[in-house]
Amino acid sequence: MSGKSLLLKVILLGDGGVGKSSLMNRYVTNKFDSQAFHTIGVEFLNRDLEVDGRFVTLQIWDTAGQERFKSLRTPFYRGADCCLLTFSVDDRQSFENLSTWQQEFVYYADVKDPEHFPFVVLGNKIDKLERQVSTEEAQIWCLENGNYPYLETSAKDDTNVAVAFEEAVRQVLAVEEQLEHCMLGHTVDLHSSSKSGSSCC
Ligand SMILES: Nc1nc2c(ncn2[C@@H]2O[C@H](COP(=O)(O)OP(=O)(O)OP(=O)(O)O)[C@@H](O)[C@H]2O)c(=O)[nH]1
Ligand SMILES: [Mg+2]
């Protein structure tokens, strides 16, 4: 087990009102406000956690989903280690906008290798009785758009909230491990006469 704490920046994106601030506040302060105000620009909170023996400080960046705040949020995308694409299961439009959010993130964060970037998709407000998006179609979207993990959450009931942030950490650590593995592979190649090497990078 490594004693060093890793600082990871995760960013919550998605339409206004889907529950991004509520998820962050539930996770960090264990509070829920049924009449939360829209976010203006960005806010962030930190939380320390341990995942699979690694100590991590999670820096959670909560962004304003409303279109009029676009120029206030996009400068903060750079340097994010993971992006949580969030929609609300009772709001079909917020689900249909996931691709737009994904593209906006890749563009403004200047992601060099979008295919391997760790996105996690969250379907929030599963405590609501009337859904407009089924679990199956959300899973299909995730499968077809990059094989992203999909989690259904409720910031109100505290369902899967910690699991969602832990999954974000796992995704980042998995990419990091893959990179380390590739670098090791290349080191071995330098001393090898064989042309066959690791192809994972
Ligand atoms: N029933 C239910 N309501 C929720 C849940 N999460 C958030 N809400 C409510 O939905 C509304 C919007 O939540 P916010 O967390 O402010 O949404 P947001 O995504 O941060 O919105 P912007 O800041 O405008 O981007 C608030 O009234 C919350 O109380 C949830 O899991 N279940
Ligand atoms: Mg907000």
CATH number, position 17: 3.40.50.300
In a domain, 148, yes or no: yes
In a domain, 193, yes or no: no
* Atom number, ligand 1, closest to the C-alpha of residue 128: 1
For residue 32, the CA-to-ligand 1 centroid distance in Å is 9
Burial 1-14 (b: 16+ CB within 10 A, else e): eeeeebebbbbbbb
In a domain, 200, yes or no: no
Domain that holds residue 171: 6-185
For residue 113, the CA-to-ligand 2 centroid distance in Å is 28
Ion ligand 2: protein residues whose beta carbon lies under 5 Å: 20-21, 39
22 in ligand 1 pocket by Cβ < 6 Å? yes
35 in ligand 1 pocket by Cβ < 6 Å? yes
In a domain, 194, yes or no: no
What tokens appear for 186 in the block? 């290349």
74-110 pLDDT, tens digit each: 999 999 999 999 999 999 999 999 999 999 999 999 9
Q: Residue 102 burial by CB count (10 A; 0-12/13-18/19+): exposed, middle or buried?
A: buried
Q: Structurally, how many domains does the chain consist of? A: 1
**Interface predicted TM-score of the whole assembly (ipTM), two decimals:** 0.99
104-153 pLDDT, tens digit each: 999 999 999 999 999 999 999 999 999 999 999 999 999 999 999 999 99
pTM of the model: 0.91
